[in-house]
Structure 1
Amino acid sequence: MAKEFTEVLQHAISVASHLVLITDATGRILYVNEAVENASGYTQNELIGQNCRIFKSGAHDALFYSRLWLSISMGETYSALFINKRKDGSTYYEDKAITPVFDGEKLTHFVSTGKVISGQSKDLEQLSDMITHDQMTGLFNRMYFFQRLRHALSQGKRRQDQLGVFSIDLDFFKKINDTLGHHIGDEVLIIAAKRITECVREGDLCARLGGDEFAVLVENTGDVSSLATIAKKIINAVSEPIEVQRHQLNVSCSIGISIYPQDGTDAETLYRHADSAMYLTKSSGPGHFNFTQKKLTEESELRFRLENDIRYALERDELRIYYQPQVDLTSGRFVGAEALLRWEHPLLGLFSPDILLPILEEAGMIREVGEWVITQACEQIRIWEREGNDLEVSVNLSGHQLIQRNFVEQMAQLMERQCSTKLQLEISEDLLIGDMVLAIDKLHGLERLGIKVCLDDFGTSRSSLAQLKRSHIKILKISKDFVRQIPGNEDSEAIIESIIAVAHSMDMRVAAVGVENERQLDFLTERGCDLVQGYMFSGPITGQEVSEMAREPNILLKPLN
């Protein structure tokens, strides 16, 4: 009976009017029905074994696919209008939903179901709206923005008009997505889009280019002061508190502005210069705007080059891990180290995490490199074990890694291969503020694997003691911002004393980061701090150098320079 039902089901799918396509976890096509053959012009035999990229028409940008893969890798169904390419090179529109399939925690397949959109099945005006507008916010999309910008430039050349291009990026948006989830982030985008639209003149064009990236085209600008006025209005409007599902959120935006003709005479150059000004404006803090400057453009172009180069850093063996030793204040011995990532660029030298991590995020490589760092740290632990050094290693974990649906399973596979019980993972306090149930479930899963979890920079955010207790954190790390001010700053002294007391009451250990002198060390020792790390003992060094330092019987008795 079950066999007969399966055969009937297979026949029903094969002749269904909807397009049905199944791939493995890498996107390799395993099955297509007749509707896919009819729509694409390919036969089933031509498609089986191919990657689904065979349908890419080039009409969608990288951000479209980035959002697609982010959604489905988290176990969510992704729905959108796809512009696909047929075998003969022509295009067709498919209203499609892609659903991930899991076997337990393991992602195994993707199932795509859709229908071809044509003039007979959907009103052409509605179809045009879907093609030119961002479906979430209702603003124009990237494709239409650049079409309109090119048209405005052709008009401006004839009339000798000035026009302005705004590149707008929301500040703190990644933190909202990582901590509260994409459903909250989407609501923020919708509200921000409405506020931006209300700040521009009738006839000006607002668009969402992707993610938290917006653009505005202002024609017939008059003098530069009018553009500055619009930018200030947008910043003030977006910065108003946003309430979403009982979350009170503070969002701001950074804006870069380029002007035709002095900053460029084609659409791509104008927008690139506005985008350059926006990214460099971010470095001066949230909620600012700036006009294109030659220096800013050069720096932004350097950043663009780095984002491109980082994509090849792993295969070219350019990434390095250094270790900053941690000292146990009871024994005086080195007992572990924090793994710190560096990028040794072949032409530009060594890049530290404060520059490297934002580049990895922009390039969409934070998960891939994060997995590599964990693997390297485990291998280093095994080397130290063979040398007779009993040392733990802590690795910083990004929100992008923790929210992966199968992250705990990936770690279980790694632990099975590496057999290491000396690995620690550090998370930021913000990760305990968002989806608490999800975060704590992941942390408990890591604990069952024997992985200790450390809470980094404790005291700089707003997690509650209840959250802390439920999370099964083993080590609290005191931010170097507090350590830097002791002794002498009463507020920092009181905060550190409170952190140590709270941690010990919950059977947690306390590590202080950024210890640079004996006065700081004495203060922390007297208050019962358990572990310290900082330049007083060592900066980031190689694994071999850590091995040599670990032979010291008591580093606290050794004269320190």
Structure 2
Amino acid sequence: MHPLTGSRLLIVDDEQRNTKLLTDIFRAQGFDAIPLNDANEVIGAVASYEPDLIILDVMMPGKTGFELTREIKAQEHWKHIPIILLTALADRDSCVSGLECGAEDYVSKPFNRRELLARVNNLLKLKKLHDFQHQNLRLLEEYDSVTGLPKKDILMELIDTLIKQKNNANVCVCVCEVDMDQTLIGLLSSHDRDLSERQVSRTVVERMSSIFPPGMLLGCLGSGKFGVVLEAGEEEGATHLRLLQQKLSLPILVEGQEFFLKFSIGYAPPPHPRLEWIVLFNHAEIAALEARKEGGNLVKRFAPEMDAVNHERWWMSRALFQAVREQQFEVYYQPQVDILQESLVGFEALLRWKTPEKGHISPARFIPLAEENGQIYDISLWMMEQVCQQIALWKRAGKRLRMAINISPVQLHRDEFTQDFVDLFTRYRLSPNDFELELTETSLMDPKGGGQLRELWSQGFDIAIDDFGTGYSNLEYLRKYPFNRLKIDRSFISNICDSGDDFAIVKAILAIAEHMGFKVIAEGIETVDQLARLRSLGCHEAQGYLFSKPAPAANATAMLFNGLKAPA
């Protein structure tokens, strides 16, 4: 049987003998052909009949084939229906006009039967291919490609269809999150990691399916995150979840290595008095977040008090995804000053986030969450590109100075980080001398991070330890890694004029730095007395509100060209 047999054709011509002839030809080939002799009924026929192809006569009373083609193609859900125009017009311009209206082809009257069938078959093949691709795209949008599970929107539709009639009376809603970073720790190859994440996801789904009873709905809420709806009371649901916890605690074999899943399970128990499903899933996610905060590999029941404690964190983790897509971030710049000359020697680039709902969010709140969620890498790459653009603008205007950028431990853990950064500054024709990379002491604990650090230093980047003295304070790091600068944390500076202990700590840091050949910059300078005390100790540089708060690029440009305002 021909693969196009059964395709629906709508044949429109005001001459009945023409539609009968065409209908007989196509029905003999196995097509489902419907004749129509009134041009004014075409739009209604397309809506009810949903043809796979339309054959339109050009010259008809009421509406021409050109007008009908324009109307049909103007509808989003009809524009992929191929149209063939039948025309007795001999001039080429009329044929071109039909194509400009959106028709896929035209055939001149009197037509050749073989030619017409060939053109119809070719267009139907193209439509069949388009429909197949469109269906696959829809499936990709609605179902997870790794597990085959419905995504969140489809899962909600299934819940509404299958369970909502039961009045939510005896249903547990559960969210299970697998921390891929912690589960697959030790896998360095990004290629191997991608395959391994797929294997882990499939294994989790298999284990969940083996535990839960018939009537369970399972969906994919994101990478490594699964939603479950159980027709069960709280006691029965909790029993199944404890079994799942035991099952997920078993080792998993990936690429010949044994791994242990790092997971968090949260659930919202029945009864649910008229709560929306999306709210119940939010409650289960908050409970899973609580389980993760307590170390993971736990099952946590949602309780109302969790909502108050975790709602902001839950909201922020979702708002961050939107912020990345909509570029809600902005880079601010805080000047770094030579203490003796009180002159501008550099800027520190700092990330700021202003949300449409809640205004500015403190970096101290969102950056740790972005690091935990793995979003910090994409956010930081975006920030570094903005910084590179700004440096390039200043250099073209004849201004050049050092730009300090904070580097997260998460970035150093990524194999591609060094190359991504080098690609960025090369694209903007910058050099490593334009940058200083600031790392906290905790970044140095990971041997892999140390390896990337040496690679960056070998490229010519200056390296600074940020917040020195507040982390692990292991002086071995000062010998082990190639640093150029130490930053004294503001917690020691704020009381340097009043506390003998803080004064002694700052003095000791400066002595170590002088012995080892490091420059020192003090941050958090707010008063002239603090500046004078640091100058007396021989500190090299400073930054803080005394000189300027972090400022947008336009303000930083004004400082660069007009100079800093002298401290009062």
Under a length normalisation based on structure 2, what TM-score does the superposition of the two structures give? Answer: 0.54
- The offset of 1:270, in angstroms, is 2.4
* In structure 2, distance between residues paired with 1:169 and 1:263: 26
Does 2:423 align with 1:423? no
Please state whether the residue corresponding to 1:342 is helix, strand or coil.
Answer: strand
2:325 corresponds in structure 1 to: 312
Equivalent residue for 2:425, pick from 414, 432, 446: 414
Does 2:511 align with 1:501? yes
1:142-221 superposed matches below 5 A: 162=170, 164-167=172-175
1:558 corresponds in structure 2 to: 567
- The offset of 1:336, in angstroms, is 1.0
Cα 1:255–1:330 change in 2 (3 A) is: farther
Q: Which amino acid aligns with 1:429?
A: E
Please state whether the residue corresponding to 1:516 is helix, strand or coil.
Answer: coil
Which has the larger strand fraction?
Answer: 1
Contact 1:165 / 1:218 at 8 angstroms: preserved in 2? yes
Does 2:443 align with 1:434? no
Q: Which amino acid aligns with 1:480?
A: R
Equivalent residue for 1:535, pick from 545, 553, 561: 545
Under a length normalisation based on structure 1, what TM-score does the superposition of the two structures give? Answer: 0.54
Please state whether the residue corresponding to 2:389 is helix, strand or coil.
Answer: helix
Does 2:404 align with 1:394? yes
Does 2:302 align with 1:291? yes
1:10 corresponds in structure 2 to: none
Cα 1:62–1:543 change in 2 (3 A) is: farther
Contact 2:388 / 2:428 at 8 angstroms: preserved in 1? no
* In structure 2, distance between residues paired with 1:385 and 1:522: 33
* In structure 2, distance between residues paired with 1:535 and 1:373: 23
Please state whether the residue corresponding to 1:424 is helix, strand or coil.
Answer: strand
* In structure 1, distance between residues paired with 2:233 and 2:360: 44
Contact 1:253 / 1:286 at 8 angstroms: preserved in 2? no
Contact 2:336 / 2:345 at 8 angstroms: preserved in 1? yes
Identical positions, percent = 26
Equivalent residue for 2:339, pick from 305, 329, 342: 329
Equivalent residue for 1:513, pick from 516, 523, 545: 523
Cα 1:57–1:470 change in 2 (3 A) is: farther
- The offset of 1:213, in angstroms, is 5.4
Higher relative contact order (CA 8 A, sep 6+): 1
Contact 1:373 / 1:395 at 8 angstroms: preserved in 2? no
* In structure 2, distance between residues paired with 1:444 and 1:166: 45
Cα 1:159–1:339 change in 2 (3 A) is: closer
1:3-22 superposed matches below 5 A: none
Cα 1:311–1:470 change in 2 (3 A) is: same
Contact 2:317 / 2:370 at 8 angstroms: preserved in 1? no
* In structure 2, distance between residues paired with 1:282 and 1:491: 40
Does 2:383 align with 1:373? yes
Q: Which amino acid aligns with 1:510?
A: V
Contact 2:172 / 2:234 at 8 angstroms: preserved in 1? no
Q: Which amino acid aligns with 2:464?
A: C
Please state whether the residue corresponding to 1:418 is helix, strand or coil.
Answer: coil
* In structure 1, distance between residues paired with 2:557 and 2:167: 71
Please state whether the residue corresponding to 2:377 is helix, strand or coil.
Answer: helix
Contact 2:407 / 2:439 at 8 angstroms: preserved in 1? yes
Contact 2:523 / 2:543 at 8 angstroms: preserved in 1? yes
Contact 2:323 / 2:329 at 8 angstroms: preserved in 1? no
Please state whether the residue corresponding to 2:269 is helix, strand or coil.
Answer: strand
1:405 corresponds in structure 2 to: 416
- The offset of 1:327, in angstroms, is 1.8
- The offset of 1:431, in angstroms, is 2.6
Cα 1:211–1:313 change in 2 (3 A) is: closer
* In structure 2, distance between residues paired with 1:59 and 1:458: 52
Q: Which amino acid aligns with 1:422?
A: D
Contact 1:379 / 1:418 at 8 angstroms: preserved in 2? no
* In structure 2, distance between residues paired with 1:339 and 1:453: 15
1:16-415 superposed matches below 5 A: 162=170, 164-167=172-175, 257-262=267-272, 269-276=279-286, 278-279=288-289, 291=302, 293=304, 299=312, 302-303=315-316, 306-314=319-327, 318-345=328-355, 349-357=359-367, 366-386=376-396, 389-402=399-412, 403-405=414-416, 407-408=418-419, 410-411=421-422, 414-415=425-426
Q: Can you give the 5+ residue segments of structure 2 that lack an aligned partner in the other structure? A: 1-125, 250-260
Cα 1:300–1:558 change in 2 (3 A) is: closer
Contact 1:179 / 1:432 at 8 angstroms: preserved in 2? no
Q: Which amino acid aligns with 2:447?
A: D
Per-residue displacement from partner, 1:487-538 (whole Å, max 9, x unpaired)?
A: 5566655554444333333322222222333454445444443222222221
1:92 corresponds in structure 2 to: none
Please state whether the residue corresponding to 2:483 is helix, strand or coil.
Answer: coil
Cα 1:256–1:400 change in 2 (3 A) is: same
* In structure 1, distance between residues paired with 2:495 and 2:226: 40
Per-residue displacement from partner, 1:27-66 (whole Å, max 9, x unpaired)?
A: xxxxxxxxxxxxxxxxxxx9xxx9xx9997888899988x
- The offset of 1:468, in angstroms, is 3.7
Does 2:555 align with 1:545? yes
- The offset of 1:422, in angstroms, is 1.9
Does 2:459 align with 1:449? yes
1:480 corresponds in structure 2 to: 490
Q: Which amino acid aligns with 1:333?
A: S
* In structure 1, distance between residues paired with 2:495 and 2:292: 25
Q: Which amino acid aligns with 2:426?
A: M
Give the number of aligned pairs: 431
Contact 1:429 / 1:461 at 8 angstroms: preserved in 2? yes
- The offset of 1:292, in angstroms, is 5.3
Contact 1:408 / 1:446 at 8 angstroms: preserved in 2? no
Cα 1:218–1:340 change in 2 (3 A) is: same
- The offset of 1:167, in angstroms, is 4.3
Contact 2:234 / 2:270 at 8 angstroms: preserved in 1? no
- The offset of 1:544, in angstroms, is 3.7
Cα 1:537–1:406 change in 2 (3 A) is: closer
- The offset of 1:337, in angstroms, is 1.1
Please state whether the residue corresponding to 1:272 is helix, strand or coil.
Answer: helix
* In structure 2, distance between residues paired with 1:406 and 1:283: 27
Q: Can you give the 5+ residue segments of structure 1 that lack an aligned partner in the other structure? A: 1-45, 66-80, 82-130, 133-140, 239-250
- For structure 1, which segment, 251-260 or 382-391, has the greater mean C-alpha deviation from structure 2 after superposition? 251-260
* In structure 2, distance between residues paired with 1:326 and 1:375: 21
